[in-house]
Amino acid sequence: MCNLKTLVIKGFPYYSEFGKVHLPDGLDYLPDELRYLHWGCYPLEELPSCFNPVNLVSLDLANSNIKQLWDRRKCFPKLKQLNLSYCKHLIRIPDLSDIPSAEHIDLIDCISLLEIHSSTQCPKNLELMDCKNLKKLCVTGCISLTKFPQISGRYLDGLFLYNCSKLEKLPPLSGLSSLTKLNLYNCYLREIPEDIGCLSSLIMLDLGGNGFESLPKSIKELSELRVLALNNCGMLRSLTELPSGLSYLEAMNCKQLIQLLPDESEFDLYADGRRYLKLNFMNCLKLDQKAVSNVFQESVLKMQLMMTQKVSPSLPYRSVEVLEEEEEVKGGICLPGSEIPEWFRYKNIGSSINIPALGLRHDCGSNRYIMGFTVCTVIGFEENHFDFYRIDFSVHYDFHIETSDGHKEGFFHNRITLFDESTPFEQKESIGSDHIFYRYNFSCYEFFQELDTSMGDYVGISFEFHIKYYGGEPVKDIQVKHCGIHPMYVQLKDSVAIDQDTKETCEPTTS
């Protein structure tokens, strides 16, 4: 066995004895030629002291009884992957300066781990920077961890520290120029450092479950940030500084949140180049509902004007081709509220709405095209019946056309999806009010073109709303109380047609 290069022993942690290896006399030997050592549920507290890991590339001891790899330092010059996740008894890991080639380090739920350190006696004094090739560092659920070394990994792509509830402060972040994913959920941080604005490549940021009242101004500098999660930040009061390119902002259960997106904010619900946006403020009971509705309305106006500017008044048929090629624009918003906004063209009580064809013909006129629509529903939650753990529901809506002979034909189906099954919640929460769900779906030209060609045959259209879990199961404890539809148009000739309900003013287009 001295030349053995791969040793894989699979363990099954959820079965007490099945698949586990018993070593009552310990383990005296492992070959030094090993490249891959994967031993699930490894039964001992240490590896053999005589094992020299100079050739080891991947070490996976997840769900094992390991307390430490050895009682003295050893060098892992070739080790790229280290997985010690779910090792409940692990108290220390190898000095990170001894793992210079590490790319992935996973320490999920190592609840006894006290410190991640790196030797200051190393000649280069590189601390965690010794791991110059490190791409992913996952230190989650380490509830005893209080200190974390300085990080300066130019290749580090993902840093995951969620549920490290005793972490006293974050290490400096300024050297992490390649970091795209940062998860600090439930670290009980009282403030977020200003140097977070130095993470120029950051795409996903989770700051949920922390105790800060506001975000640092430097967060506006995160030009690549697309996903920002702030769920369960119970002290958060304002969100006045946001990066302009966000596609998904989630701030559920932030019960002190009041101020959002003031007029002077550079954040725009429709930023050029962004095609999808979701904003989720579920259970943010103090949020200014009218202010959010106004911002949403402004975004609809901007989209209409943007699309109109793409249309050539002298070449209407060519303009239609431009619209057909335009990439779909869509998004959704959820926030507390009990009324459909006044600016919605069509509104109704209940879970369905009928729109007469005469009204659409009047709105369209001879030179406007329906490019999409905004839908709005008011959702009510039955008291003490809604389980906040089961947050994976969406609002479905079906579109039907009604013909003059009484026939009703299903024409279109879509849904408002604002939740993810992985959305983290620590406890059951009651929903304190009704909620408004918005969705806009723009650049649906082909759909409405087909509808326009049938105008002589139909007498009306209808939308029907219902709520389902992601698997298709109906939700019994949530009901649609009100619904609204607002068509969105573009002008194909000499002037911009303005819908009085959206309070736009007329202006000519230019060629």
Q: Which of 109, 110, 106 is nearest to 38 (CA)?
A: 106
φ, ψ for residue 304, nearest 5 deg: -65, -45
CA distance 198 to 175: 8
Q: Which of 152, 160, 207 is nearest to 178 (CA)?
A: 152
Q: What is the pLDDT of residue 205?
A: 97
CA distance 346 to 353: 8
CA dihedral 381, 386, 390, 391 (to 10 degrees): 30
CA distance 58 to 56: 6
Q: What is the pLDDT of residue 318?
A: 42
Q: Which residues on neighbouring strands pair with residue 257, listed in sequence order?
A: none
**Residues 386 and 379 sit within 8 Å (Cβ to Cβ):** no
Question: pTM of the full predicted structure?
Answer: 0.77
C-alpha to C-alpha distances, 146 to 153, 167, 171, 178, 426, nearest whole angstrom: 21, 4, 11, 25, 21
Under DSSP, is residue 105 helix (H, G, I), strand (E, B) or coil? strand
DSSP secondary-structure letter at 327? Answer: P
Please give the structure tokens belonging to residue 144.
């005893």
**Residues 114 and 146 sit within 8 Å (Cβ to Cβ):** yes
Q: Which of 235, 243, 233 is nearest to 266 (CA)?
A: 243
Q: What is the pLDDT of residue 218?
A: 93
Under DSSP, is residue 213 helix (H, G, I), strand (E, B) or coil? coil
C-alpha to C-alpha distances, 143 to 54, 210, 264, 336, 426, nearest whole angstrom: 31, 15, 40, 34, 15
**Residues 219 and 197 sit within 8 Å (Cβ to Cβ):** yes
Helices 316-325 and 445-453 cross at an angle (nearest 10°) of: 130
C-alpha to C-alpha distances, 342 to 372, 423, 500, 502, nearest whole angstrom: 19, 32, 12, 9
Q: What is the pLDDT of residue 256?
A: 94
Low-confidence ranges of the chain (pLDDT < 70): 1, 13-19, 115, 117-133, 152-153, 261-276, 295, 303-304, 306-330, 358-369, 383-392, 410-429, 441-457, 490-511
Q: What is the pLDDT of residue 418?
A: 56
CA 92 to chain centroid, in Å, comes to: 32
User: What residue type is 60 in one-letter code?
Assistant: D
Q: What is the DSSP string of 361-419?
A: HHHHTTTEEEEEEEEEEEEEE-TTT--TT---EEEEEEEEEEETTS-EEEEEEEEEE--
**Residues 283 and 335 sit within 8 Å (Cβ to Cβ):** no
Contacts of 176 (CB under 8 A, 6+ apart): 151, 152, 153, 156, 159, 198, 199
Helical (H) or strand (E) element with 325:
helix 316-325
Q: What is the pLDDT of residue 199?
A: 93
